[in-house]
Amino acid sequence: MNVRMVNGSSRCAGRVEVLHRGQWGTVCDDYWGLAGAAVVCRELDCGEPVDTLGDAHFGSGSGPIWMGIVFCTGSESTLKNCGSFGWGIHNCDHSKDAGVNCSDHNHSRFIIGPHLCSGRLEIYHNQTWMSVCDTVFDQQDAEVVCRELDCGAPVQVLGAAAFGKGDAQMWTQEIQCRGNETHIHLCPTSPSHQNTCSHDSDVGVICSS
């Protein structure tokens, strides 16, 4: 594989790096857009681009900046087939390293559980991880989270900060999964009547795996 994403929360999100002459280097965010991001997401089997991110959103890389200005149509099979001014030719520095979030990047995670498939739930929204209020989350939502994290089926949904209190922003919208979605971000949401939720009400989940 000649392309990778690093420093993100999954292999389908992060700073874009390209392998050239045996060395990994970065891509400049000048002209970086959805077409290039679509090529990277497809090349890594990560679905579609959700966000294209510049200004070293996923941290500054090191080593060469291999691709300065990138011209992709979006249909290329690999980022290396996109046009550019040539390898290593750029007017850029690592503060402008390009990144991308693809749709198959996990949008939920567990924190501080007894094993990988349980813990306090956080979901990813607007480029930040958020704690979830126990009043807006139910068993059907848990089915989606456990499936997304490859953790089997939900065993228990626990409220009242059973796995400790988080310090992230609070997610207070009602999550209305049917239960068959592949990712939590595909579930519809609606404003909750209870917008005042504290970390005393952080939700936790135990999945079967």
**Which one, of 165, 180, 107, lies nearest residue 134 by Cα?**
165
The per-residue pLDDT for range 168-208, each reduced to its tens digit, is: 888 878 888 888 887 787 788 887 666 678 888 888 998 88
- How far is 68 from 146, CA to CA, in rounded Å? 40
Residue 105, pLDDT score: 59
- How far is 12 from 9, CA to CA, in rounded Å? 8
Q: Are 66 and 82 in contact (CB under 8 A)?
A: no
Residue 53, pLDDT score: 85
Q: Are 146 and 207 in contact (CB under 8 A)?
A: yes
Residue 1, pLDDT score: 62
- The residues pairing with 6 across neighbouring beta strands, listed in sequence order, are 15
Q: In the chain, what is the greatest distance between 2 CA atoms, to the nearest angstrom?
A: 57
Q: Which fold has domain 3-102?
A: Mac-2 Binding Protein (3.10.250)
CA geometry: angle 129, 40, 151, nearest 5 deg: 45
Q: Are 184 and 175 in contact (CB under 8 A)?
A: yes
- How far is 18 from 60, CA to CA, in rounded Å? 14
* Number of helices (H), then strands (E), in the chain: 2, 16
The number of residues in the chain equals: 209
Tell me the pLDDT of the chain (209 aa) as tens digits.
689 998 887 778 889 999 989 999 999 988 888 899 999 988 888 877 877 888 888 899 888 999 988 899 888 889 988 988 888 888 899 999 999 988 765 667 777 666 778 888 888 776 678 888 888 888 899 998 888 887 888 898 888 888 888 888 888 788 888 888 877 877 888 876 666 788 888 889 988 88
Residue 99, pLDDT score: 92
Residue 184, pLDDT score: 82
Q: What is the DSSP string of 171-192?
A: E-SEE---S--SSGGGS-EE--
3-state SS assignment for residue 59:
coil
CATH architecture, range 108-207: Roll (3.10)
DSSP state of 42: H
The CATH 3.10.250.10 domain(s) of the chain lie at 3-102, 108-207
